[in-house]
Amino acid sequence: MEEAMSQECVSNTDVPEAKPVSETNASPFGKSKSQSDIPVATSKQTLTELFSHKYKMDYPNRGKAIIINNKTFNAGTGLDVREGTDLDASALDNRLSELGFDVDLKNNLTADKIKATLQKAAKLDHRDNDCFICAILSHGGDGYIWGTDRMIPINDLMEPFKGNKCLSLAGKPKIFFIQACHETDMNVGDGKDVEPQFSCLKIPSEADFLIALSVVPGYYSWRNETNEAKCSWFVQALSEVLKKHGQTMDLMTMITHVNQIVGDMFQSDTSRPDMKEKKQIPLVTSMLTKEVYFTSK
């Protein structure tokens, strides 16, 4: 069990955010395709790298990390201000910087600007980078996240990074953390239950992604809500685990620790009787083919 959480964001009063995807659209890449329809990418690897159980993480650079932090939204959307999200963004910025990422924090982007930002990132030359990370903090629902003006499918955000499109990231980890909340039309779950020769390897273009969503489909995503701290449970746990184990533990084990912290150590404390003592568990979709270690450079 993890020790008590750090004081970057700790609170005893909680408010709900909401489901990031629907149960019928849980796949981050949308509807399934027949095997013959799945495109392939070519990844240039040494034989040692090819047969290793770990991704090669000793390139000159750790890689690019983009944090999209949407706090305020256009009046026409009817969405409330996401209080506390700046603290989430700051915590992630600190953790990823400590791991050696070149972090680019973007605030309050429209849907078109979010797409343009990620398309631009996918067109960069990542040949000297270990991997890529994107963290999105916003409202969301039913397989979408919100720009400041309108919704955008989560699928569209990952599309430019597929191995057949972003060739310099083919065979490398592409990691997405999504903290999505929604203020209306939310379902409340019963949360209380609970040497080297080179080989050109053809790989599925969807391979090497990991998508960690703050909550499973159909349930609230919660954050602490006080004047001192308003951190989301998911980002609070993720920040703590990255701080303690970021350079020694593989990514999937770290995410499992995050799930444990969110699922076991948090429980809602609110004045609304129908919202009291609720629980949350993140949803992780992994197409990783090897272990990811952010070892010190």
Cα separation, 189 vs 18, whole angstroms:
11
Residue 23 burial by Cβ neighbours in a 10 Å radius (0-12, 13-18, 19+): exposed
Cβ count near 190 (within 10 Å): 10
Active-site position among 126, 139, 182, 257: 139
Of 9, 134, 181, 231, which residue is the catalytic one? 181
Q: At what angle do helices 251-260 and 233-245 cross, to 10 degrees?
A: 140
- The yes-or-no answer on residue 139 being catalytic is yes
Catalytic residues: 139, 181
